[in-house]
Amino acid sequence: MRKYTIFMLLNATRAWLALDRSARGNFSSDVIGGILERYPDVSLRYYDAEAFSGRCSDVAVFETGDLTAYTFVIDALRDTPFFTAPYFEVVDIIPAVEDSFKEYEATL
């Protein structure tokens, strides 16, 4: 099964930064964690970039073999303060396939 990696470049907003660290942790575990539990074919990792980039403050890395499940995760996030407050603004979304050239070469 092909595995997709989607890099979502984000900027944290004042609404997110105004939350205390406990509230941020609770949102991440309860709200985002709850969404991911409904879509076990999608995994998510976060990376802090604000110390290294002026373009984005965070990078969310989604991995999945099921692009429909990924789009459902994003739709579910759109119904939360992640996007409605918003806590984060999307700078860019970069979908990628790891080593897809190997699949291509196998067809030659």
Summarised one tens digit per residue, pLDDT across range 76-93 is 999 999 999 999 999 999
CA angle 61, 3, 71 (to 5 degrees): 60
Kindly report the pTM of this predicted structure: 0.93
Q: Give me the residue label for tokens 């991440």.
A: 28
Beta bridge partners of 12: 88
Q: Determine the Cα–Cα distance for residues 105 and 100; give it in Å rounded to an integer.
A: 9
Q: Give me the residue label for tokens 């939360």.
A: 80
Mean pLDDT throughout 27-50?
97
pLDDT recorded at residue 16: 98
pLDDT recorded at residue 10: 98
**CATH number of this structure's domain 4-100, picked from the four choices 3.40.50.300, 3.30.420.40, 3.30.70.1030, 3.30.70.270:** 3.30.70.1030
Q: How confident is the model at residue 103 (pLDDT cuts 50, 70, 90)?
A: confident
> Would you say 2 and 101 are in contact if contact means Cβ atoms under 8 Å apart?
no
Summarised one tens digit per residue, pLDDT across range 50-68 is 999 999 999 999 999 999 9
Q: Determine the Cα–Cα distance for residues 95 and 63; give it in Å rounded to an integer.
A: 10
As a whole number, the mean pLDDT across the chain is 96
Q: Determine the Cα–Cα distance for residues 42 and 73; give it in Å rounded to an integer.
A: 8
CA distances from 37 to 1, 11, 20, 25, 99 (A): 21, 25, 25, 17, 28
Domain ranges of the chain: 4-100
Summarised one tens digit per residue, pLDDT across range 64-80 is 999 999 999 999 999 99
Q: CA-CA-CA-CA torsion for 59, 8, 53, 20, nearest 10 degrees?
A: -50
